[in-house]
A and B are shown apart, each in its own frame.
Chain A
Amino acid sequence: GQQVMQIPQYQHVQEGEDFTTYCNSSTTLSNIQWYKQRPGGHPVFLIQLVKSGEVKKQKRLTFQFGEAKKNSSLHITATQTTDVGTYFCAGTGIQGAQKLVFGQGTRLTINP
């Protein structure tokens, strides 16, 4: 079945440093979504990418969808303490039941 792998599992940075998390799917995706879960909270939707090679930005966050629609990345420029949390990618395959499959998440901690 479809698998979504995310690396790294953990990342600790100094405030102001950049951060990137990578997501890879075993199959071609119709779309990829990114979520953020703050400590003690539930995952909250950030963005969806649909097109091959698509790049979207939200302030200091840049999201990319690979040309083959099998990988994606989230890059945060100049991290702030408010960026702390776990970032999940999730993808829907192009065939089958169209179930959204989550990666294992990257837990970001920041040293102020």
Chain B
Amino acid sequence: GAGVSQSPSNKVTEKGKDVELRCDPISGHTALYWYRQSLGQGLEFLIYFQGNSAPDKSGLPSDRFSAERTGGSVSTLTIQRTQQEDSAVYLCASSSHRDSQHFGDGTRLSIL
């Protein structure tokens, strides 16, 4: 079946622009996570959605970052007024309750 789909796969934008990253999780998965990964580094947790519960936003690095999950399915991560330090791979993962996480291929974001 279809896995986790992320778009775009690559995004190059100028400093100060806003970007939207999309994640389409596996159908039926109630949990959705966003992570950020810089080259050679670990997974930096950003935000966690679980069913209809309020999202855990504790990992968002600044108020320029926001995310929403519409209808319990597709999620969008928005970064406003991008900075060069925002350059990284943004990974989305989904899972059913207490099950393994399935990751998308990520969006490689480059801020010029």
Contacts and interface: CB of A to CB of B under 8 A. Distances in A.
Given A31-B98, A100-B95, A43 B43 contact: yes
B48 A48 contact: no
Contacts of A43: 43, 91, 93, 101, 103
Given A102-B42, A105-B42, A107-B40, A90 B98 contact: no
Interface string A95-110: 0011111111101000
Interface of B: 31, 33, 35, 40, 42-43, 45, 48, 50, 53, 56, 58, 91, 93, 95, 97-98, 100-106
Nearest to B91: A42
Contacts, number: 50
A80 interface: no
Nearest to B104: A42
Interface of A: 1, 30-31, 33, 35, 42-45, 48, 86, 88, 90, 92, 97-105, 107
Nearest to B59: A99
Contacts of A33: 100-101
Contact of A45 (B35, B40, B50, B101): B101
Given A42-B91, A48-B100, A92-B98, A102 B56 contact: no
8 contacts: A1-B58, A33-B100, A42-B105, A43-B91, A98-B50, A102-B42, A102-B43, A104-B42
Q: What does DSSP make chain A's interface, helix, strand, loop or mixed?
A: strand
Contacts of A99: 48, 50, 56
A100 B106 contact: no
Contacts of A92: 98
A100 B101 contact: yes
Contacts of A104: 42
Contacts of A100: 31, 33, 95, 101
B72 to A, nearest CB: 16
A65 B55 CA distance: 29
